[in-house]
């Protein structure tokens, strides 16, 4: 999927997530989609390959990794995701939706950069050089 021009907020969130500058040409091949909440505080990033959904809290420079779903939409600071059971099926009989309250204080936030995201992106970059 080729993206015409990546929005600045997407590249900034990715740079915060991996702890350094992002090559837009490489990122464009890695990137599937990004969402942000209405306050622009939270940004979700997901790769083409159905990997972890990363949530970046731009205000507090921290991140949360959800390995079980794809981000669908925000309602305030509540993120709705589609679970693994249905996200890879073209016409699932049942949709596995769940929500994550990003402001609840119960999530396992990590400081940015996120080690797993750095490693995933580096592996992708090296294999697509």
- Per residue in 63-112, pLDDT (tens digit) is 999 988 889 999 999 999 988 665 556 666 667 889 999 999 899 999 99
| Alpha helices per DSSP H over 1-129 | 8-18, 24-30, 84-87, 115-127
- Respond yes or no on whether the N-terminal peptide bond of residue 9 is cis (omega within 30° of 0): no
> In which residue are the tokens 């507090």 written?
60
- For residue range 35-76, what is the model confidence (pLDDT) as tens digits? 999 999 999 999 877 678 999 999 999 999 998 888 999 999
- For residue range 3-43, what is the model confidence (pLDDT) as tens digits? 467 899 999 999 999 999 988 888 888 888 899 999 999 99
Q: How many CB atoms lie within 10 A of CB 27?
A: 21
pLDDT at 32: 86
């Amino acid at each position: 999927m080729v993206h015409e021009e990546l929005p600045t907020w997407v590249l900034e969130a990715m740079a915060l997530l991996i702890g350094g500058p992002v090559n837009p040409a490489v990122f464009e091949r890695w990137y599937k989609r990004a969402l942000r909440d209405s306050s622009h505080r939270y940004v979700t990033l997901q790769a083409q390959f159905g990997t972890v959904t990363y949530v970046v809290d731009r205000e507090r420079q921290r991140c949360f990794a959800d390995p079980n779903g794809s981000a669908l939409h925000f309602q305030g600071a509540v993120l709705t995701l589609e679970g693994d059971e249905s996200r890879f099926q073209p016409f699932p009989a049942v949709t596995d939706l769940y929500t994550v309250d990003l402001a609840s204080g119960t999530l396992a936030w990590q400081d940015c950069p996120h080690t797993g995201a750095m490693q995933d992106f580096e592996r992708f970059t090296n294999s697509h050089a």
